[in-house]
Chain A
Amino acid sequence: MRTGLPFLLSTMALSMIQLAVAQDRSLTLPKTVEAGSAFSIQCTGSGKAVLYIVGLGQALKRDVELGGTTFFPAGSLYNSGHYLAVLERSSSAETGSFDVVPATKPAELSFLAKPSRVPVGLHDGITGAVYVFDVYRNLIAVPTLVSFELSSPSGTAQKRTLTTREGSAWTVMDSTAQQGVDRFVARVDEISSARIIGQVPGDPCELKMSARQSGQKLLLATDLVRDCNGNAVPDGTIVTFTEAYTGGQSTVDVPLKHGIGEVQMAVHNGATISVASGIVLGNQIRWEK
């Protein structure tokens, strides 16, 4: 109750000032200005004044002759947003506002493509999101057509055309069955941005090994390790050989070399030898002399 009266009085005073400014308006501002384009501001009256334009990350100051037009060359205002114009005369000041909007012509795309590596044959495994910017890196919010194209190693391509919403558009694509490098391109008019997606083999499939004796050692080797789509599993992938025998067990983690896992282990008559890679089990061999 005690704060109510001062609040009411200050609100009334502010309203009266705004009313007085509005009644004495001499500043003619454009409603919108395209980022980077030339524009002008008219000031009626006579005498000299100073015009300030303040916005997001930008401020301009001009000495103006009242009753004339002040021209701003192209590139004067380039950050999109809401701007405040203040005309300061010797005895009073007038304010107004206008918007700087992004240029309509796209100049740059920010393209986020995920993941950079994806297993083969994954439905909706690849996502792409694009943000459209003008030459001054203002996000173009007006609907814009964007085309996405994912070219797979086999030569086939998946295409989508979408319209941006609030400056962005996104899509999902499938990885194909063949390992290799995908080229993922987003395009708006003649502007494009490309990303590389690696399609990598999946888990080993039908892991199979064979054994033969070489002197006092047992030479164990897998067949060429492939995934379920027939892609060779990359070198360096770990294959675990386990030899279980009466009274003990021996284990070796071996990286694939030229697509094959190979190791020498001690010969134990009656031993059971198994092979695995990650969570995939391969065949078992019972070694009898």
Chain B
Amino acid sequence: MSNGRLLAVLLAAATLALVVVGTVWPVPSAAAYAGANNLMGSSSTAEAAVGNLGDEISAQAWGKAYASFANKAQFTESEFVHDLTGYYPSLLTYSTLDKFEVRPLHASANEAEIELKLHWATVVGRSVSKRDLHLIRNGDRWEPEWPIAKEPIVPPQVIAVNYLRWDVIYPGSGDDWGAQNVEAPHVRIVDMHPVERATGVVILGELLNEDVVPAYVSVTATLLSKNQSPIGTEGSFDKISHLLLPKQVTPFLIEFPNVSLSDVGSIRMTPISTLIAASADPVIEVENEHLNPAPGASLTGRLINQSGQIVNVAHVLGTFYNQAGNVVWIADEYIDTALLPQNPVPFEIHIPEDLARSVSSQRTVIATYNSGGSQ
């Protein structure tokens, strides 16, 4: 009994001591979240000033970040916030800054150039953006100039949209057995082959909607060993464009981590399709696509929304082929800003260095989503 009391007293004392330590000597990031006034380190160096800015963005202390800028006369705090989180709902609207990196590019006694790399945690994974900041010395402090990207202005206009929309009426629960159902869309895998990567086996392929109605599609694969026992089953998850309009083709990629291709005897592919209400709008043009060689191999280009509605999230899927026309890799990127009508937005999809040499052509597919649901 006395031992229990002693333990309780010790725990209470330790808790009190930790509270005092945390209050008197707070961790800077914790202080930032708590709203301390001078929470960051000093801005006596250019790197420290950008570090402070990163902490403020991380803490969403927009007012403090805005106050630290040397060029705040050029834009409002609201414009700064929208520059980071998007003027329209997009991936960044629902993201938080996971971490940031500060990389000095150039420095003199009174001026400096520093790259701020922002790693955003979004609902579809990490999104990285870079800003090159110019800093100027003001007394004993360094002040960054924020390279504001102002809201793109779309000229007021009326864009007539009369693309098709498909709706589906399913049989009711009271219908008799034998009553006709609505057929699921006919889809077909037009290309498929497995490749071995350092992480395991990857299955690459393409799926065609050969029907006259839109389809919601996904693909699952089951690896079978040489004695036909199943090794594992995986799905394409988001490495596919789930909505396929008639005669549209999507790439798909299925990963089997920690599996060796030499252990695989056969593969069972299962394409799945269901009817879905869909619209043929929006149309996205992929412009100026360019395959950039290694090192840093990538596919770059620009997306142009040719329709009248705003696309909140665009998913770019690149299919890369060798000279024989076989798929050698599939990669993707989510665009973290909304696509406004006729407003080009750049994209960059990275290609593994070891495969870049064998890539001779590519095809790009865009899956779009708006805040009202998938399109």
Contacts and interface: CB of A to CB of B under 8 A. Distances in A.
B183 A115 contact: yes
Given A110-B177, A203-B247, A253-B248, A237 B287 contact: no
Interface string A248-289: 111111110100000111100000000001111000000000
Contacts of B246: 234, 236-238
Interface in B221-277: 245-249
A236 B289 contact: no
Nearest to A118: B183
B188 to A, nearest CB: 9
B162 interface: yes
B212 A113 contact: no
Contacts of A257: 162-164
Contact of B364 (A115, A116, A251, A264): A251
A252 B212 contact: no
A103 B360 CA distance: 71
A236 B286 contact: no
Interface in B140-165: 162-164
Contacts of A78: none
B247 A238 contact: yes
A117 B190 contact: no
A111 B178 contact: yes
A253 B208 contact: no
Interface class of chain A by DSSP? strand
Given A234-B212, A236-B164, A278-B208, A253 B365 contact: yes
A266 B283 CA distance: 16
A111 B366 CA distance: 42
B183 A113 contact: no
A238 B283 CA distance: 10
A248 B182 contact: no
B210 interface: yes
B212 A237 contact: yes
A239 B208 CA distance: 13
A251 B210 contact: no
B288 A237 contact: no
Contact of B287 (A203, A250, A279): A250
Which of B163, B177, B285 has the largest count of A CB atoms less than 10 A from its CB? B285
Interface stretch (A3-11, A169-177, A194-202): A194-202
A278 B212 CA distance: 11
Which of A204, A239, A253, A265 has the largest count of B CB atoms less than 10 A from its CB? A253
A266 to B, nearest CB: 7
B38 interface: no
A196 B180 CA distance: 8
Nearest to B365: A253
A177 B290 CA distance: 43
Contacts of A264: 306
Q: How large is the interface on B (under 10, 10 to 19, 20 to 34, 35 or more residues)?
A: 35 or more
B178 A131 contact: yes
Interface string B178-192: 101111000000100
Contacts of A239: 247
A247 interface: yes
Nearest to B178: A110
Contacts of B213: 117
A288 B181 CA distance: 52
A251 B208 contact: no
B363 interface: yes
Nearest to A241: B285
A114 B178 CA distance: 11
Which of B163, B245, B248, B290 has the largest count of A CB atoms less than 10 A from its CB? B248
Nearest to A193: B178
Contact of B288 (A110, A196, A236, A248): A248
A206 interface: no
Given A238-B248, A247-B290, A263 B163 contact: no
Contact of B286 (A112, A114, A116, A250): A250
A250 B285 contact: yes
Contacts of A250: 285-289, 301
A252 B245 contact: no
A235 interface: yes
B280 interface: yes
Contact of A112 (B164, B178, B284): B178
A264 B209 CA distance: 25
Interface in B168-208: 176-178, 180-183, 190, 208
A257 B307 CA distance: 14
Interface in B269-314: 280, 283-290, 301, 306
A203 B210 contact: yes
A169 to B, nearest CB: 14
Nearest to A249: B289
Given A252-B285, A278-B208, A279-B208, A237 B245 contact: yes
Contact of B212 (A201, A248, A251): A201
A132 to B, nearest CB: 12
Given A111-B178, A201-B212, A255 B287 contact: no
Given A257-B162, A264-B306, 13 more contacts: A112-B178, A116-B180, A116-B181, A116-B183, A131-B178, A236-B163, A249-B362, A255-B280, A263-B283, A263-B285, A265-B287, A278-B208, A279-B208
12 contacts: A110-B176, A116-B183, A201-B212, A237-B246, A238-B248, A250-B285, A251-B286, A251-B364, A253-B245, A253-B248, A253-B366, A263-B306
Interface of B: 162-164, 166, 176-178, 180-183, 190, 208-214, 245-249, 280, 283-290, 301, 306, 362-366
Interface of A: 110-117, 131, 193, 195-196, 200-201, 203-204, 234-239, 247-255, 257, 263-266, 277-280
5 residue pairs, one from A and one from B, having the closest CB atoms: A110-B178, A278-B247, A255-B280, A236-B164, A116-B183
